Amino acid sequence: MLTNKPFVESLNEDTEHQPLLNGVPQTGGMRSGKVYLAPGADCGEHTTGANEEMLIFLFGTGEAIINNKEKLNVGEGKVTYIPPETVHNIRNNSDKPLCYIYCVAPAGANSFDKLRTSGGK
């Protein structure tokens, strides 16, 4: 049983990485943070392993590079989903800053169905 409590975190205006959720014991496993990429910068190629990831773009434009080949246009007002075990990188290919929030969570088989059938919303 989780004993964590609801809270509110303010986004800062810094251009450094800002951790928001740090996983257990703060959450049931979700991690999150704010990323700021200067023009021409990228977050670095990586995978979140067995976790799934959602990116919420606050401002700017760029591209998500998936498995070193597929390129998806990303930016303000867009949400991107990255499945587990997917190699990816986010690159700011514009002349303005790119900022987004990432949310990484354990990908459990039928976890949403379990939540729905237990009365969660």
List the pLDDT tens digit at each of the 121 positions of the chain: 456 788 898 999 989 899 999 988 888 889 999 999 999 999 999 998 999 999 999 999 999 999 999 999 999 999 999 999 999 999 999 999 999 999 999 987 555 554 444 444 4
What is the dihedral sign for C-alpha 92, 11, 44, 102? Answer: negative
Residue ranges and CATH numbers for the domains of the chain are: 35-117 (2.60.120.10)
Structure tokens at 21: 């959720």
